[in-house]
Chain A
């Protein structure tokens, strides 16, 4: 039954086979499986392919459609380029976990019902945790546990919502809804946890930078963008999302400005960029939804590109903090150029992918007369240039001379970065290429002279602000508190305090228990036991030998008592 065959299964088979395969066979598997998946993605026609009856539900493992195909395409592409980037450096179990994780994302893309969606959702949660753990350090282990708890919690919340909807409506179909009752709110919360929406966004900047240089490339792509896809499918036009998105946009900028760890800066900018998409889903017009989908596509490419360049720097220098890096452009020209292309794309500089996709979202806000939304998104575009567009390349590759002279990227990493760099520019220069794959017909001109002038002013003067305000942005060896402070510091402190408070009560209770135990012991010895040695004649009261007559008397008394009680 090929109709039931989800392209995700190819990636699952590959993930299983990567372990036993060796040498060139493994390389071939890593590189060919995503390409085969990409081909399979394009073989899925629109609409529900087939249904299976499971218990009393109509399961639809594969449902095609332009939006689903767009996301599955970029996920498969990401798996291929990520595999190319990682295959010589990453250990086999990291690759296998990353491929299973990608399979989850592709499975969600084609899921026709809520149950299938949930299964692939959890597959992602499990194997992304393994990818975090592959960082291999104690910090990665601890961050991975926090990451897993957060995502399993999100999964439970999502499941509660799905159960409620199934019971309430009798349908497991994926269809647009609004957050109006408890069940739909639960589904929305469950998805928003994966989108790193407030207040539970700390997991992202906590876990991603602790993974290996190759692992973070995979992590940057799948979880949050699958959440965006789920929002597009389930909650288009949900007004709450506008506010949530705007908060994420600003949160990402401010925290990235405070940060020193290069991959944590990029992690915060994921929250910032996903904020744009969440806001667009909230606006909910065709242009906005197209913008969210296109921006998700472009975002995966340039964000992976930025994480790849950061990964190369960490791999070559072993350092991951802005305060230790600088001046690498001389010996790492290719990585520098690729990083700058990624940085310009994320800042939506004209001729890069960010410009042609993100501007759709701003345009959608303007078309709906949402003055504040438009102004905040525009301000955020300036802020993105500040924290990711300039700050990241500046502190890593330019700034002062750190004295480091690392080699440039190995050939496979360089090739992976080049592929995504070219795609970033292709989408920027020929936006029609991406517009034809969007879910709704596109009637939008990305380029007009006035718009280019406006964005150049906005971005270049943000650049001026950056260089003038450099003294205010000194790198500090610090971490920034987030909501996770509540369970990393406050909760253990409260528990310790409660333990101190409870300790006198506990010791009094312990003494009481000890006294009871002793009195029971002496009682038992006295009446039941043999207090001394085994051959002693001295027995406890009930442990002695009694004469038959005494026993018969006791039996008679007990039986009489029984009869008496029976008649009462």
Chain B
């Protein structure tokens, strides 16, 4: 039981902080790698420096926000369909 109550490795604040540092370094490296390796752009814009990073981030931001807005309209409590049919 003592094993069960132990704080999980990835839940420790020190570990989380270190992982963020590591992740940030990896992110910076992937952008800087573009200075070394030529990224071929098919439509000019996608060859710009750091385009993949910015585009990926912005698209995700947009999709999450869109999902939030749509969620406000589309989300219903879990038992929503239960009255109309015998969903358990």
Listed in ascending order, the chain A residues whose CB lies under 8 Å from chain B are 137-139, 141-142, 253-254, 257-258, 327, 329-330, 366, 371, 374-375, 378-379, 382-383, 386, 398, 400-401, 403, 405, 448-467, 469, 472-473, 476-482, 488-489, 492
Contact = CB atoms under 8 A, between A and B. Distances in A.
Interface of B: 4, 7-11, 23, 26-27, 30-31, 33-34, 37-40, 42-43, 46, 50-57, 59-61, 63-68, 70-71, 73-78, 80-81, 84-88
B76 A481 contact: yes
A61 to B, nearest CB: 40
A456 B29 CA distance: 10
Contacts of B71: 258, 476, 478, 480
Given A139-B87, A142-B85, A458-B55, A329 B10 contact: yes
A102 B23 CA distance: 43
A146 to B, nearest CB: 9
B87 A477 contact: no
Contact of A142 (B27, B31, B57, B87): B87
A438 B29 CA distance: 36
A453 B27 CA distance: 11
A379 to B, nearest CB: 4
A469 B60 contact: yes
B43 A457 contact: no
Question: Interface majority SS on B: helix, strand, loop or mixed?
Answer: helix
Given A457-B30, A477-B77, A138 B60 contact: no
Contacts of B54: 461
A465 B61 contact: yes
B40 A457 contact: no
Given A258-B74, A457-B50, A366 B42 contact: yes
A488 B57 contact: no
B84 A488 contact: yes
Nearest to B59: A379
Given A398-B10, A453-B34, A461-B52, A382 B81 contact: no
A382 B37 contact: no
B8 A469 contact: no
11 contacts: A327-B10, A451-B40, A453-B33, A455-B52, A460-B53, A461-B56, A461-B57, A464-B27, A480-B76, A481-B76, A489-B80
Nearest to B54: A461
A119 B37 CA distance: 53
Contacts of A455: 52
B65 to A, nearest CB: 8
Nearest to A137: B88
Contacts of A473: 64
B52 A457 contact: yes
Contacts of B57: 461-462, 464-465
Contact of A477 (B52, B74, B78): B78
Contact of A374 (B4, B43, B61, B67): B43
Given A457-B30, A458-B53, A480-B74, 18 more contacts: A137-B88, A142-B86, A254-B66, A366-B43, A374-B43, A401-B11, A449-B37, A453-B30, A453-B39, A454-B52, A457-B56, A460-B26, A476-B75, A478-B71, A478-B75, A478-B76, A479-B81, A481-B75
Contact of A480 (B4, B42, B75): B75
Contacts of B26: 460
Top 3 closest A-B pairs, CB basis? A457-B52, A465-B60, A366-B42
A324 to B, nearest CB: 12
A472 B68 CA distance: 8
B10 to A, nearest CB: 6
A488 B85 contact: yes
Nearest to A253: B63
Given A254-B67, A469-B64, A489-B84, A462 B56 contact: yes
Interface-centre pick from B26, B71, B77, B86 (highest chain A CB count, 10 A): B71
B75 to A, nearest CB: 4
Most chain A beta-carbon contacts within 10 A, residue among B9, B38, B78, B85: B85
Contact of B42 (A257, A374, A465, A492): A374
Contacts of B74: 258, 480-482
Nearest to B37: A449
B84 A382 contact: no
Contact of B81 (A450, A466, A489): A489
A474 to B, nearest CB: 10
A225 B54 CA distance: 33
B81 A459 contact: no
A492 B84 contact: yes
B57 to A, nearest CB: 4
A378 B88 contact: no
A526 B68 CA distance: 76
Contacts of B68: 472
B29 to A, nearest CB: 9
A451 B88 CA distance: 48
Contacts of A454: 39, 46, 51-52
Contacts of A258: 67, 70-71, 74-75
